[in-house]
Amino acid sequence: MFVHSCQQMRLAEQAAIDAGVITTDGLMDAAVCSAAAELRRDAEYGQISRTLPRIVVYAGKGKNAGDALGIARELGCSAITVRCATSVSQLAAETRRQLELTMAVADVKFATQPLTSVPEEGALILDGLLGSGACGSLRPEYAKLAHEMNELRHATTHSLLLAVDIPTGLDADTGSVDAAAVRADATLAIGCVKPGMLADGSENYVGRLLCAPLPHVSLPPSCARVADAGLLSLLPRRAFSCYKNQAGRVRIIAGSVGFLGAAQMCSEAALRSGAGLVELFCLPEIYDLLAVRIAPEIMVRRVASFADVPSEGAQALLIGPGMGAPSVPNKAALSALLARAECPVVMDADALRLLAAGDLPWPRLPILTPHPGEMRALFPQAAALSRAETAAQFLLRHPCTLLLKGARSLISDGSTTLYNSTGGPFMANGGQGDVLAGTVAGLAAQGLSPFHAAALGAFLCGRAAGIARAKLGYPLCVCASDLLPCLTAATH
């Protein structure tokens, strides 16, 4: 889904209405249906919203409230509580219509007093107070309801707060935040993503980004996008006669004493992302330990030094996870390997540190996967820049594909920027980057461009984490190794 300003979205909607393509009521109906369908498809929030016993809608008087009421109805929940910021008579006409349709099929109760609790099983709380057109400080009555919403979210660990189009109190264009702004678990962007949702610091208010397209409304492409399920179309469709040598070979240099898990997880991720052949090259001191613990499909190659790693015949290289600090001869061997490499090279962890120190040359087709600390080592100016500015300025100096990891990983090649929409704070533990690096390498080996491999790799890893979390009963965290068996399911 593309990123556009509120004004661009309003003009596109009005153009569709003026052209007779759709009516005002039809536009809201389309938004509601698209949003509800996205929630049902989603691996995490869609599944939970169908099982929670109650939906609570916080409704302002505008069209955003109509969207929220319609979504509550379309999700099929029979028990809906509505907390209005105004009287029903003051609701916009389209919003009153959505309320009437909802009351015809569900048990709707109006709450006139502050809500302080929900059933122990939790509730889905829909923020429909203010839409993306709102700006400036929250009026006291809205600030009070936003605060109440945040408190209700914390009433049980199972409750989820979903902002419809934009969290109340967040400026959709600038990302500035009111002191009383809603802190959503997820935000369902309708039609387009607004730039304020992607601003640094907005993550704790926006939460996970879900994207619901708006039929009949045409918006031009933009240079910034948010990942959605459309990325799955990048997966190669194999000929029936395809065999392993045609599905891509990945060569990996990873692992050292004390960091065997990094080598294991990145290798197995490359395998599960679809690579036909995965070779892991390791030094004698860790070969015996790795060979007995790694997936049997992976070829573990013992080499006396990295000079023995072939430079030809692979479709992707991955260097760095858990590799540690190589000796001077091995550092020279890695430099020679990178200088000869004709295929995409994923550089992660220790390889990034060596690159930042000037100890390794830039390969011809680099894919860099730094976390924020590694990014500052590569580009010290990043400490004073936003993530988007960091990527733009870094890529002017160092052409490559950059996958800047974080709460909403940013992928850019200098001309196109994509923000990942999957995953969440349950992935905040060690090893996730190893799985990501292996997944990206596996996709690149199958013929995806460096940018597409990085974008799809980030999307699949976050989606696999959501699937794993659902299977495990929605724990606080999901271990990196939990993602591996779910990577295949993430491609569906």
CATH number at residue 206: 3.40.50.10260
pLDDT for residue 439: 98
264: pLDDT strictly greater than 80: yes
Q: What is the pLDDT of residues 280-302, one digit of tens each?
A: 999 999 999 999 999 999 999 99
Please tell me whether residues 318 and 457 are part of one structural domain: yes
Please tell me whether residues 208 and 265 are part of one structural domain: no
Please tell me whether residues 236 and 189 are part of one structural domain: no
pLDDT for residue 136: 84
Please tell me whether residues 204 and 279 are part of one structural domain: no
Please tell me what DSSP assigns to residue 218.
-
- Evaluate if pTM is beyond 0.85: yes
Residues 6+ apart with CB under 8 A from 230: none
Please tell me whether residues 42 and 11 are part of one structural domain: yes
Tally the domains of the chain.
2
pLDDT for residue 98: 96
54: pLDDT strictly greater than 90: no
Q: What is the pLDDT of residues 174-222, one digit of tens each?
A: 999 999 999 999 999 999 999 999 999 999 999 999 999 998 899 999 9
Instruction: Identify the residue with better confidence: 450 or 475.
Output: 450
> Could you tell me if residue 149 is inside a domain?
yes
What are the strands of the beta sheet with 401-404, ordered from one edge? 224-226, 417-419, 410-412, 401-404, 366-368, 345-347, 316-319, 249-253, 277-282, 299-302
Tell me the β-bridge partners of 319: 253, 347
Give the start-end residues of each E strand in 214-372.
Answer: 224-226, 249-253, 277-282, 299-302, 316-319, 345-347, 366-368
Confidence band, pLDDT 50/70/90 cuts, at residue 44: low
Q: What is the pLDDT of residues 216-245, one digit of tens each?
A: 899 999 989 999 989 999 999 999 999 999
For 296, other C-beta atoms within 10 Å of its C-beta total 6
Average pLDDT rounded to a whole number, residues 47-76: 86
Which of 196, 226, 256 is the last residue in one of the domains?
226
49: pLDDT strictly greater than 60: no
Distance CA 196, CA 174 (A): 5
For 412, other C-beta atoms within 10 Å of its C-beta total 26
Runs of H (alpha helix) within 223-299: 260-272, 284-291
Please tell me whether residues 207 and 262 are part of one structural domain: no
Q: What would the two tokens of residue 12 be?
A: 């596109």
Q: What is the pLDDT of residues 371-422, one digit of tens each?
A: 999 999 999 999 999 999 999 999 999 999 999 999 999 999 999 999 999 9
Please tell me whether residues 215 and 313 are part of one structural domain: no
Q: How big is the CA angle at 197 (ends 484 and 92), to the nearest 5 degrees?
A: 120
User: What residue numbers bound the domain in which 78 lies?
Assistant: 6-226
Q: What is the mean pLDDT of the chain?
A: 94
Worst-scoring range by mean pLDDT, 261-265, 334-338, 488-492? 488-492
Please name the amino acid found at residue 395.
Answer: L
Q: What is the pLDDT of residues 459-473, one digit of tens each?
A: 999 999 999 998 998
